[in-house]
Structure 1
Amino acid sequence: MSANTTRPGADPFTERTPRVVAARRLTRRAEREKAGRFLAEGANAVGAALSRGRGFVHELFVTGRAEQAYPELVAAAREAGVRVSPVTDRAAVALSETVTPQGIVAVCDLVDRPLDGLLPTAAAAGPAAAGAPAAEAASPAPVAPAPAAAPSPGAPSPGAPSPDPAEPAAEAASPAPADPAPAAAAAGAAAPAPGAAVAGPAAPAPAARLVAVLVDVADPGNAGTVIRVADAAGADAVILAGDSVDPHNGKCVRASAGSLFHLPLARARDVHAALEACRAAGLRLLGAHGHAETELDSLPLDVPVAWVFGNEAHGLSAEVIASVDEGVRIPIYGRAESLNLATAAAVCLYGSAMALRRSSGG
């Protein structure tokens, strides 16, 4: 703990201090990828980053004024074993990408995870992924063993392994063990009492119901806002596909308002792989674009879905539109030409979120 506490009277780091210079490099994407770390600036982002648990935040740079303004964050950082480094106001400006920095910046691990395994497949998620009632997806009902006659002479001992298919048919046809109690004893386990519940298989991973996929989204503010909306709508994950902006970009981090740290996120250069991962998870792919024939208000939204959003200027490519299950257009009732990406994403994601909650009684 003492290693993380500033020595009394120690001078704060300046913009020329090597640790500050090294952290400043993380404002560039290439350096973030190389180091596997990025900067989270501001009280909101720092608090959310610290909530990820011990070891996620590596260093906290804080001005004297910020330490007085956010003592609980500094205390939480020290409690988590994070190195707390006091800095001058000019050093805070060097680390910041805003006009009026708050004077508190955390060095964090990258938040994205591999696409493979981000979403449970429909098979791995069990019956619930296919829309089966929760009762059907639960463990089997308790079964009481039926009374059985004593085994006949020459029968195989209870609990013995099943005969190998290569063995003679006569051996494979031997009577099965009749009494479950000796079998349990042979395995070193207590026999289940009559009427006791039989343990079922391990609970399957919960099925994904709502995912946002951003394809070639270039503006970090838009990407961060969509991540924030997805988090608010209770989405299971966000995938940034193709040439989408780095979610660790400073503007994206700030626009997400802490949501970047709350929900699973993946990056995938291969758009087709991202879409197929959603399809394998049992999600219906809906592509939002302004020239689709199907309007949002005519579509049933109470099904697990992955909403696919395209580039701010060009929308979804013809190839992506052909790959989704259905294109969807948000109707414009007034005189506005269109909706921007973040607004359209909010309408679509919340439409699905509310319909899913109504259908599940949530």
Structure 2
Amino acid sequence: MLTNPRADRVRSVRALSKRSVRERTGRFAVEGPQGVREAVRYAAPRVRDVYLTSEAIERHADDIVGPARAAQLWVHEVTPDVLAAMAEADAPQGVLAVVDTAGDSLDDVLAARPRLLVLLTHVRDPGNAGTVIRGADAAGADAVLVSEASVDVLGSKVVRSTAGSLFHLPVVTGLDVASTLSTLRAHGIRTLAADGAGATLLPDADLDGPHCWVMGNEAWGLGEPVRAACDDVVRVPIHGRAESLNLAMAATLCLYASAGRRPSGDPDG
């Protein structure tokens, strides 16, 4: 059992709260049972270590500890003080894992001939980014693309808000927006800017072929150059008095509209 909150191993895990350390080591921390469970289930080869308190070991014997040991992962029992020293959350839930970065690339995504993508441009709020990843997973999207100026999706707040969806689909980061739009077009993927200034209403948008939703910053949305570079600019109709929709809400509505247009006979439909 690990009992010393000041041990080098504990400090090295806590250091993953810094983006520079995550980038240098190629690792990040996953806090909480839901995220760790999905990491063990869907990304076991990338899981370096799993840390649990004695209470969490008993509680999660079947859904985390058993599968982790079956996958021959390192499972460590720690005291609550040690886990608290490792985690960023104010009230950690007794479970934490260290996971290698996936290294997904746009070329890999395109090689799989995706039907539905979402591109986040200059998205800065961790909760929004994580919720969009979770919504994209739920809607059956093939990948999430993230611009170089957006929040780090491997930060703890983003990872927690994905609720494990981070391990269900590729998430490609560090992309240049203009070149990404051009690359998508070259691969026959239509780009749809989601913006309140759009002339096309969401129910009228052409969602039948492969396409990518392009989402903008929480405060200023999409700039004119990005809107002009997309094939269409689409807005979600607002029937009440709300001025606008939260980014994650709008993205989820757009993604589910696309999910509803899957061709008949699609096995994922």
2:117 matched to 1:211? yes
More helix by share: 2
2:265 matched to 1:275? no
| 1:24 aligned partner | 14
Instruction: Find the residue that maps to 1:286 and give its secondary structure.
Output: strand
C-alpha deviations, 1:147-173, integer Å up to 9, x for none? xxxxxxxxxxxxxxxxxxxxxxxxxxx
C-alpha deviations, 1:251-296, integer Å up to 9, x for none? 1111111100000111134112222232233211000011122211
Instruction: Find the residue that maps to 1:118 and give its secondary structure.
Output: helix
Q: Which moved more, 1:94-103 or 1:65-74?
A: 94-103
Tell me which amino acid in the other structure corresponds to 1:56. R
Instruction: Return the TM-score normalized by structure 2.
Output: 0.94
Is the 2:122–2:150 Cα contact (8 Å) retained in structure 1? yes
Q: How does 1:273-352 map to 2 (within 5 A)?
A: 273-352=179-258
1:55: Cα distance to partner?
Answer: 2.7
Number of equivalenced pairs:
267
2:73 matched to 1:77? no
1:357: Cα distance to partner?
Answer: 4.2
| Distance (Å, rounded) in 2 between the aligned partners of 1:292 and 1:264 | 28
| 1:110 aligned partner | 101
Is the 1:213–1:306 Cα contact (8 Å) retained in structure 2? yes
Moved over 6 A (4+): none
| 2:27 aligned partner | 37
1:298: Cα distance to partner?
Answer: 2.1
Tell me which amino acid in the other structure corresponds to 1:282. G
| 2:127 aligned partner | 221
Indicate which of 57, 66, 71 corresponds to 1:67.
Answer: 57
Instruction: Find the residue that maps to 2:244 and give its secondary structure.
Output: coil
Q: Which moved more, 1:292-301 or 1:255-264?
A: 292-301
C-alpha deviations, 1:47-101, integer Å up to 9, x for none? 1111235431011111111111111212222222222222111121122222321
C-alpha deviations, 1:211-266, integer Å up to 9, x for none? 01000100111111000110111101110013111111111111111100000111
| Distance (Å, rounded) in 1 between the aligned partners of 2:68 and 2:4 | 21
The percent identity for this pair of structures is 45
Is the 2:2–2:82 Cα contact (8 Å) retained in structure 1? no
Q: CA RMSD in A?
A: 1.7
Is the 2:46–2:102 Cα contact (8 Å) retained in structure 1? no
Instruction: Find the residue that maps to 2:109 and give its secondary structure.
Output: coil
| Distance (Å, rounded) in 2 between the aligned partners of 1:306 and 1:269 | 14
Stretches of structure 1 that go unaligned for 5 or more consecutive residues are: 1-10, 121-204
More strand by share: 2
| Distance (Å, rounded) in 2 between the aligned partners of 1:331 and 1:29 | 38
1:358: Cα distance to partner?
Answer: 4.8
1:116: Cα distance to partner?
Answer: 2.7
Is the 2:115–2:209 Cα contact (8 Å) retained in structure 1? yes
Cα gap change, 1:221 to 1:62, in 2 (>3 Å): same
| Distance (Å, rounded) in 2 between the aligned partners of 1:54 and 1:100 | 25
2:239 matched to 1:355? no
Is the 1:296–1:328 Cα contact (8 Å) retained in structure 2? yes
**Larger gyration radius, structure 1 or structure 2:** 1
Q: Which moved more, 1:251-260 or 1:75-84?
A: 75-84
Is the 1:39–1:108 Cα contact (8 Å) retained in structure 2? yes
Is the 1:302–1:359 Cα contact (8 Å) retained in structure 2? no
